[in-house]
Amino acid sequence: MQPLPSKLLEEAVDEMASLPGVGRKTALRLVLHLLRREPEAVRQFSASFVKLKEEIQYCSRCFNLSDTALCNICSDSSRDASLLCVVEDVRDVMAIENTGQYRGYFHVLGGIISPMQGIGPADIEIESLVERVSAGQINEVIFALSATMEGDTTNFYLYRRLRDFPLKMSTLARGVAVGDELEYADEITLGRSILHRTPFDLNPSR
């Protein structure tokens, strides 16, 4: 792209384009859109991110984002305290909550082990997970991490840290997505879904 006619514009576009998945053309479009707003609206836009960064709290138990010391889910004593689901971030908590199929508690790692990005076990909430497990109330830990190399690495590390506790450890089922046609499933997924086939179910979409 050609150099922009203004250094101030250049800086704003650079910042916008630093967001993941936002190219310079899109960044310019978004910045020009902001520039057409009232000054007060631009200040409010910008302040929301600074305020979030400065004032956000993490739940002291599960490390999910929260406005309070204990998040909504951890405050709900009607949940099953024997089940703990380990996830990467708040989006995964929301996705699993959306299914309506899970009534245990969560543990939010706040990231995933990624040697490529310099994120090691000490950078995410693994010690706090071991502490929670060693308190003894938990019977099963579900590793609900992405089906990527980083997810598998983290799964394996967690398994090694937790294997001496009297626990059941499980991961999400891998298989053909509900609604997917077989011919479009990739071969690794399809292979696993044959290996880990499940007993016939009259009501399979539940």
Site for a second copy, rule CB under 8 A? 1-2, 4-9, 11-12, 14-15, 18-22, 26, 28-37, 39, 42-57, 64-67, 71-73, 89-91, 93-94, 97-98, 111
Beta-carbon contacts of residue 74 (< 8 Å; ≥ 6 apart): 59, 61, 62, 64, 105
Q: Which is nearer to a second copy, 91 or 163 (CB)?
A: 91
Please, what is the minimum distance in Å from the beta carbon of residue 22 to a second copy?
8
Residue type, 196: H
Q: CB 49 → a second copy: shortest distance, Å?
A: 5
Residue 85 tokens, joined? 């689901």
Distance CA 114, CA 186 (A): 24
**What distance in Å separates the CA atoms of residue 158 and residue 166, rounded to the nearest whole number?**
14
Smaller CB separation from a second copy, 28 or 162? 28
119 in Cβ contact with 112 (< 8 Å)? yes
CB of 128 to a second copy, least distance (A): 18
**Which is nearer to a second copy, 86 or 162 (by Cβ)?**
86
Q: Which residue lies nearer to a second copy by CB, 44 or 170?
A: 44
Partners of 83 in the β-ladder: 140
